[in-house]
Chain A
Amino acid sequence: SQTIHQWPATLVQPVGSPLSLECTVEGTSNPNLYWYRQAAGRGLQLLFYSVGIGQISSEVPQNLSASRPQDRQFILSSKKLLLSDSGFYLCAWSVPGFSGNTIYFGEGSWLTVV
Chain B
Amino acid sequence: EDQVTQSPEALRLQEGESSSLNCSYTVSGLRGLFWYRQDPGKGPEFLFTLYSAGEEKEKERLKATLTKKESFLHITAPKPEDSATYLCAVNNNAGNMLTFGGGTRLMVKP
Contact = CB atoms under 8 A, between A and B. Distances in A.
Contact of A102 (B34, B87, B100): B34
A100 B97 contact: no
A92 B45 CA distance: 11
A43 B9 CA distance: 11
Given A51-B96, A102-B49, A105-B43, A43 B31 contact: no
Contacts of B102: 42-43
Of A51, A104, A110, most buried by chain B (CB within 10 Å of CB) is A104
Given A101-B91, A105-B44, A108-B43, A43 B96 contact: no
A103 interface: yes
Interface of A: 6, 32, 34, 42-44, 46, 49, 51, 59, 88, 90, 92, 94, 96, 99-108, 110
In the A-B complex, list the 4 residue pairs whose CB atoms are closest, starting with the nearest: A100-B32, A105-B43, A44-B100, A43-B102
